[in-house]
């Protein structure tokens, strides 16, 4: 997958996820019920990235979060994030989220993103 710096990613709306102990479980809604081959689990770095993708995030934002949380070098964080996004995108767990508007109307300087309909 070719990623552009201005691309934002978000969890697919076609999956559900739950935290169970120290793991995050992801189940695609389109999969057959009871199919263990369609259940994904993340822990550590994967769980952190998955949590961050609850809202649209750029690769740079994800890399920065990994650097802060795990105190790793930028290059390592970039490799980890790129691999995670590529792999989860390829199986439909993550989507590219087109950003259509940015509004700085929040009184405390927070930026509110409005996203286009994903489907």
pLDDT of 11 above 70: yes
Residue 98 has a pLDDT of 73
Contact predicate 39/29, CB 8 Å: no
Token pair for 46: 């994967």
pLDDT at 110: 43
Mean pLDDT of the chain: 80
Helices then strands, each counted (H, E), the chain:
3, 8
**Structural domains of the chain, ranges and CATH numbers in brackets:** 8-115 (3.90.930)
* Rounded percentage of the chain residues whose pLDDT exceeds 70: 71
What is the pairing mode between strands 23-28 and 112-115?
unpaired
What integer pLDDT is reported at residue 99 of this predicted model? 63
Closest C-alpha to 50, from 68, 25, 30, 71:
25
pLDDT digits (tens, 9 = 90+) for 102-111: 433 344 444 4
């Amino acid at each position: 997958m070719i990623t552009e710096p201005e691309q934002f990613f978000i969890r697919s709306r076609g999956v559900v996820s739950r935290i169970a102990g120290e793991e995050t479980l992801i189940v695609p809604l389109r999969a057959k019920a009871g199919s263990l081959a369609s259940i994904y689990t993340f822990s550590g770095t994967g769980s952190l990235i998955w949590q961050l993708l609850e809202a649209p995030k750029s690769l740079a934002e994800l890399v920065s979060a990994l650097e802060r949380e795990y105190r790793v070098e930028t290059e390592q964080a970039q490799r980890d994030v790129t691999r995670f996004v590529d792999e989860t995108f390829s199986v439909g767990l993550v989507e590219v989220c087109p950003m259509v508007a940015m509004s700085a109307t929040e009184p405390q300087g927070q930026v509110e993103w409005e996203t286009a309909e994903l489907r």
